[in-house]
Amino acid sequence: MNAIVLSPSDLAIAASLIAFDALLSVLLKLNLHRQVLWAAARMVVQLIAIGYLLRLVFALHNPAATVAVVAVMAMVAAREIAVRPERRFKGADGLILSSSGVAIATFATVALALLTALRPHPWYEARYAISLAGIVLGSVLNSGSLALDNLLTSVTRERPSIEAQLGLGASFHDATRTLVRQAIRRGIMPTVNQMSAAGVITLPGIMTGQILAGLDPLEAVKYQILLMFLLAGASGLSAAIIAYLALGRLTDDRQRLRLDRLR
Amino acid sequence: MQAGTPTETPAPMSDPIDPAPPGLWVRHLQSALAGPFDFTVPAGGCAVISGPSGSGKSLFLRMIADLDPNEGEVRLNGTGRQSMGGPAWRQMVPYVPAEAGWWLDDVAGHFAPDKRDEARTLAADFGLVEGQFDAPVARLSTGERQRLAVIRALVLGAPALLLDEPTSALDEEAARLVEAALKARLQNGCVIVMVSHDAGQAARLQAEHYLMVERKLQRTPLTEART
């Protein structure tokens, strides 16, 4: 397989499209040109930085460096999940539960793929572990964030009906059952949509990238299928773990509804 | 005095810790927001609490039901709430808020299948039109919802009821129908603690009347019904 190597001038030509967007913004008074240019610049700097970092870590062949990179990525994802919802936990509760969900969902799915399907030597080889973790974390972030936001919003909104049930002696679990279900569904739904659309409406990015890099389409497809399964598993785990941990923090040993733990 | 108590046992001093009287017994009940409250209602007794809004009446009922964090001792007919879980306690002392929530679209779904016949009968007793019981909740008036929320608690057959303004949205006729059902429960030994602004209601239910002022409870002489 021979990938077509891109030169900086190739990228410069493509960058003219960004200039076109900015021009469009000025002409149509979209007031978006600053943001477009800033986002594009940021994207280029971030990606070049990660490219150098990955090259460095791959060369190190040091498990500790691999773990450190994945841990930083996971921490950023966990923080995003904790701070995104409109209603949030006071203190460190949100971060603790989102970190647990991210760590378990990511480790479980990535380790499964490394130990059974890809089997690189050693199994924690940075090239594979970091790449897989990076893709999986995107799904984990999305589904965890959607599930948490949905749960906290709906529990806040449905306080009267939850407390009406609690007041009549229902368990907290029964009184919130439908809300948790909805939250987890909400978290998993984008992955389901992504799988349904794959290949028909969209050509998934990973697959396209590998085909562009010269891989046989069927080989690329197999990789994409493996990844889709990983993403589906990871988003299910992430949504369910984070939703149930959050639910646990919304009640106490007397099965009250503790909205005072939110701000 | 309990049966079977040996005669040589010295007569208990007026022990504030373990009187185990029948009825609702509340001591040192407090939270960051209200209290402390000491409060007793005998079995078959009714207490009506009035007071300005924001004075802590609902907080008080919620603390008895253990719906808000609080401390203190609450017993019903000698059984302490700490001896059981929150839901089991609230099955004994169900709490009906002033604007009770609904968690399903249809009214009937809010009742356990084996309680629906009893609930239908009570709905008829409360003057609800036949068919409202099977209607969507959204189609009911405030007064209809209020009566059905009380019925949700009544069908539990609990030994105590905590009712937050159960008749505030009802006309006089409907309020009397609800009061009649509550009186029947009182005669069976049920304890009722109720928030109400209707001074006549306390008299009609032969209730002890309390006033909540700035999150403290005061006992008032039974006021005569307004004329």
DSSP B1: -
- Checking if the pLDDT of A82 tops 70, the result is yes
Contacts of A165 in chain B (CB under 8 A): 101, 103
Show Cβ contacts of residue A130 under 8 Å, excluding neighbours closer than 6 positions: A54, A57, A66, A69, A70
Q: How far apart are CA B132 and CA A34, in angstroms?
A: 59
Q: How far is CA A222 from the centre of its chain?
A: 22
Amino acid residing at B212: M
Contacts of B97 in chain A (CB under 8 A): 160, 163-164, 167
What are the structure tokens assigned to A112, written together?
Answer: 């499964």
3-state secondary structure of B39: strand
For B83, the closest chain A residue by CA position comes to: A254
Q: List the single residue in A161, A167, A257 with the smallest CB-CB distance to B102.
A: A161
Which of A251, A254, A255, A257 best tests the B interface by mutation, with the highest count of B CBs <10 A? A254
Q: B67 and A257: CB-CB below 8 Å?
A: yes
Q: Closest Cα partner for A145 from A195, A83, A200?
A: A83
pLDDT digits (tens, 9 = 90+) for A24-65: 999 998 888 898 899 999 999 999 999 999 999 999 989 999
A257 touches chain B (CB under 8 A): yes
pLDDT digits (tens, 9 = 90+) for A186-237: 999 999 998 998 887 777 888 888 888 888 989 999 989 999 999 999 999 9
Helix (H) or strand (E) holding B26: strand B23-30
Amino acid residing at B192: I
pLDDT, position B13? 43
pLDDT, position B20? 61
Q: List the single residue in B87, B99, B101 with the smallest CB-CB distance to A169.
A: B87
Q: List the single residue in A159, A166, A168 with the smallest CB-CB distance to B153.
A: A168
Q: A254 and B66: CB-CB below 8 Å?
A: yes
Q: List the single residue in B91, B102, B149 with the smallest CB-CB distance to A169.
A: B91
- Torsion angle defined by CA atoms of residues B20, B22, B28 and B34, in that order, rounded to the nearest 10 degrees: 160
Strand B160-164 to B191-195 pairing: parallel
pLDDT, position B4? 40
pLDDT digits (tens, 9 = 90+) for A184-194: 999 999 999 98
Q: How far apart are CA A20 and CA A28, in angstroms?
A: 12
ipTM: 0.87
For B81, the closest chain A residue by CA position comes to: A254
Q: B97 and A168: CB-CB below 8 Å?
A: no
- Whole-model pTM? 0.86
C-alpha distances in Å from residue B218, one per residue of A67, B43, B56: 64, 21, 12
Q: B67 and A167: CB-CB below 8 Å?
A: yes
Q: List the single residue in B69, B85, B97 with the smallest CB-CB distance to A167.
A: B97
CA distance, residue B2 to nearest chain A CA (Å): 30
CB count within 10 Å of CB B45 equals: 20
Q: B86 and A255: CB-CB below 8 Å?
A: yes
Q: Closest Cα partner for B93 from B12, B174, B193, B183?
A: B193
One digit per residue, the tens of pLDDT, for chain B of length 227 reads 344 444 444 444 444 555 567 899 999 999 998 879 999 999 999 999 999 888 899 999 999 999 999 999 999 998 999 999 999 999 999 999 999 999 999 999 999 999 999 999 999 999 998 888 889 999 999 999 999 999 999 999 999 999 999 999 999 999 999 999 999 999 999 999 999 988 789 999 999 899 998 888 888 865 444 33
- Partners of B208 in beta bridges: B47
Decide: A194 and A154 in contact? Cβ < 8 Å.
no
Contacts of B92 in chain A (CB under 8 A): 169
C-alpha distances in Å from residue B186, one per residue of A80, B41, B94, B103, B190: 55, 11, 15, 29, 5
Q: Closest Cα partner for A186 from A161, A139, A151?
A: A151
How big is the CA angle at A218 (ends A214 and A224), to the nearest 5 degrees? 90
CA distance, residue B222 to nearest chain A CA (Å): 29
For B163, the closest chain A residue by CA position comes to: A167
3-state secondary structure of B50: strand
Amino acid residing at B76: L
Q: List the single residue in B69, B90, B102 with the smallest CB-CB distance to A167.
A: B90
Which residue in this structure is represented by tokens 């368990």?
A171
Residue A2, classified by CB atoms within 10 Å of its CB into exposed (0-12), middle (13-18) or buried (19+), is exposed
Torsion sign (Cα): A222, A227, A232, A234? positive
Average pLDDT along chain A: 92
3-state secondary structure of A186: helix
Helix (H) or strand (E) holding A48: helix A33-60
pLDDT, position A2? 61
DSSP string, A116-170: III--SSTT-HHHHHHHHHHHHHHHHHHHHHHHHHHHHHHHHTHHHHHHHHHTT-
pLDDT digits (tens, 9 = 90+) for A128-152: 999 999 999 999 999 999 999 999 9
CB count within 10 Å of CB B221 equals: 6
B86 touches chain A (CB under 8 A): yes
Contacts of A164 in chain B (CB under 8 A): 97, 100-103, 149, 152
Contacts of B94 in chain A (CB under 8 A): 167-169
pLDDT digits (tens, 9 = 90+) for A106-132: 999 999 999 998 888 888 889 999 999
pLDDT digits (tens, 9 = 90+) for A154-173: 999 999 999 999 999 999 99
B149 touches chain A (CB under 8 A): yes
Q: B156 and A168: CB-CB below 8 Å?
A: yes
Give the CA radius of gyration of chain A. Answer: 22
